[in-house]
Structures are given as C-alpha cells and as structure tokens.
C-alpha cells in the first residue's frame, strides 16, 4: 500500500483517519510501516488489532533498533545505525574520523531485509497455514548483517584491497595484523 504525500496528508486531516486507514489495511496483503515502535499501537493500528479480522495480514515494521530491546525507543537514523552496526568503523583514512558514504546504506539494506522478510512470510502463508506474520526489521541489524561479509574476507585480501584503493582504515589493518598473531 503506497501513499503519495498528498494522500497521506488528506488521510490525517480527515475527521476519522484511523477508520480510513483500518479499511485500507483490511483490504491489503501487506502493511509496511517505519515509525518508532509503539506509534501504530498508539493510533490503534498495530498488528495485534488486525489478527482477528485479517489473520493472513503480513505486517512489516522497520525501525532503527527493532520493536523490543534497550534501544527500541530511540529514533532510527540510518547514519547512526550504520555506526551502531559497525559500518563506520571500517570507512575512512588512517588516524581520521570515519567517512560518511554518499548513500543511505542503512536504509537500503533495511529495505532489502524487509522485502526478503515479506517474501518469506508470503511464501509461508501460501505453503503452510495461511496465516500472516509480523516482520521486524532493525536498520542496525541489517548493517551488522552486511558487516559479517567483511569479517569473512581473508585478512590478507582485505588489507591488500584497501591499501591498493588508497581508502583504508587503520582499525581494519589493526584487526588484520592482530589476527596473524
């Protein structure tokens, strides 16, 4: 369900926006939201509200730190989540602060994880019990998941590639040199 900014504004100016949004959700296969945790519940639009009326609904939630845990209440800015997930640790030049990439990598990775989660929930719904699921995507976890690939690259190849590019982090080289000990 996609809204243009004009439609979104009209829905929330309406005297009873929740009624309209509930009707739209009940006609949908998938709901995707990216508010801070508990925002949809405050509006009476959380996933538990729809389980009885539409048990096959897939409800995807994208936030900075997930729906539960010690940081769930914090807003999820991609740049902060990229740092929290470890990406900023491996960017930049020696003895200088991390470099911010020109793309919002955290948001893009979280969007891909959300799409994968939704597809898996749809597949499960079709193949198994016909029930929907709630998909919880945290931006920092999506970044952290990508960082696993960096750890799986051999130390030698990683340091060689970074040295040859001229863009490297002394922190990565420190990890590389300590792994040989």
pLDDT at 160: 54
Residues 6+ apart with CB under 8 A from 47: 31, 40, 57, 59, 61, 134
What band does 132 get if pLDDT is binned at 50, 70 and 90? very high
pLDDT tier for residue 113 given thresholds of 50, 70 and 90:
very high
Instruction: Tell me the two tokens of residue 132.
Output: 């929907």
| Active-site residue (options: 48, 107, 129, 136) | 107
Structure tokens given for 99? 């470099």
* Position 41 confidence tier, pLDDT thresholds 50, 70, 90: very high
Q: Is residue 29 annotated as a catalytic residue, yes or no? A: no
Q: Could you tell me which of 153, 181, 101 has the C-alpha nearest to residue 172? A: 153
- 60: three-class secondary structure by DSSP: strand
Whole-model pTM: value is 0.74
Q: Which residue has the higher pLDDT, 155 or 23?
A: 23
Residue 116 pLDDT > 70 = yes
3-state secondary structure at position 32:
strand
Does residue 154 register a pLDDT over 70?
no
Q: Which range among 13-17, 117-121, 161-165, 177-181 shows the weakest confidence by mean pLDDT?
A: 177-181
pLDDT digits (tens, 9 = 90+) for 68-96: 989 999 988 888 888 888 888 778 887 88
Domains present along the chain, CATH in parentheses: 5-152 (3.40.50.10540)
């Amino acid at each position: 369900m996609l809204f243009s900014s004009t439609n979104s504004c009209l829905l929330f100016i309406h005297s009873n926006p929740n009624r309209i949004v509930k009707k739209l959700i009940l006609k949908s296969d998938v709901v995707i939201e990216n508010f801070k945790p508990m925002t949809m519940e405050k509006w009476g639009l959380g996933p538990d509200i729809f389980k009885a009326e539409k048990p096959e609904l897939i409800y995807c939630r994208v936030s900075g730190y997930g729906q539960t845990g010690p940081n769930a209440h914090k807003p999820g800015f991609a740049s902060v989540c990229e740092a929290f997930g470890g990406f900023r640790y491996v960017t930049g030049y020696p003895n200088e602060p991390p470099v911010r990439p020109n793309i919002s990598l955290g948001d893009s990775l979280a969007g891909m994880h959300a799409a994968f989660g939704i597809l898996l929930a749809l597949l499960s719904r079709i193949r198994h019990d016909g029930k929907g699921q709630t998909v919880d995507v945290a931006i920092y976890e999506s970044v952290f998941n990508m960082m696993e690939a960096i750890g799986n690259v051999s130390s030698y190849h990683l340091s060689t590639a970074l040295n040859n590019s001229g863009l490297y982090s002394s922190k990565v080289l420190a990890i590389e040199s300590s792994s040989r000990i």
